[in-house]
Amino acid sequence: MDSYPVPPAAPPSPVRPPARPLLTYTLLGLTAAVYLLQILGQALHFDLATAFGLKYNDFIRQGELWRLITPVFLHGSILHLAMNMYGLFIFGPSLEMRFGRGRFFLLYFLSAYAGNVLSFLLNPNPSLGASTAIFGLIAAEGMFLFQNRQLLSDRGRAQIVNILIVAGYNLFYGLVNPRIDNWGHIGGLLGGLIFTWFGGPRFRVEGVYPAYQLVDERQGHGALSGAAAVLLFFIPLTILGWIWPIG
């Protein structure tokens, strides 16, 4: 189970008019719908969603590589689902607004992939849940604040501290609770950090007050740069987990 007690930082101002976070809402609805399928399947003793989507190391080594992504849609209880969807609801809209839908899509699923890869490599137990992706969002929030700290000044530094507290609290909670896949959380954090370091928005101010705006220096290439960095780091770990099973 996961908890996310501190809300994300506000975006720097001024910003472009915010778009509706449609991808965030779609992910919320889709994940809830998959959980309903899990509940229905369990009632019928035929839970195909969990059977074919769970992170299960032996099946991954047999070639079922989709299991490095699909656990992001699966949850073990209504509380597990609620906590992860709360994290998505808190962090998702502002990140989607800043990153754009394409980059946010890649951030979410590459963080999930990174978390499941590290779990595949180091955790022998089956696992499921969106917390791999949520930890990636937490990391992306912190890295975004760090890379744009000159625009945010003291407010940005305080918000970075809040993000560190959120991540530290949840990692500690994972350490003391043996049911939690902490390797998945760490992998998600790394995925979000790497993606945002190489591909997240870096704003600069153009123009003179009052006719000024924030311009993203990475607009147009951030998605490719961030995705390439995550894949170059985690694909070798996937191969390592396949040929040299540690967990």
Residues acting as catalytic residues: 131, 185
The tokens describing 76, both together, are: 């073990």
Query: How many helices and strands (H and E) does the chain possess?
Result: 9, 2
Nearest-angstrom CA–CA distance, 120 and 126: 9
Element of type H or E holding 208: strand 203-208
Give the other-Cβ count within 10 Å of 204's Cβ. Answer: 12
Written as six digits, the tokens of 61 are 């080594």
Handedness of CA 75, 48, 70, 246 (dihedral sign): positive
**Residues 75/128, Cβ–Cβ less than 8 Å:** yes
The Cα–Cα gap between 173 and 181 comes to 11
Measured at the alpha carbon of residue 123, what is the angle toward residues 117 and 128, in degrees to the nearest 5? 70
Q: Tell me the β-bridge partners of 212.
A: 207
- Those residues whose C-beta lies under 8 Å from the C-beta of residue 4, and which sit 6 or more positions away, are 83, 86, 87, 90, 91, 134, 138, 166, 170
DSSP H/E element including 244: none
The structure tokens 């500690």 sit at: 172
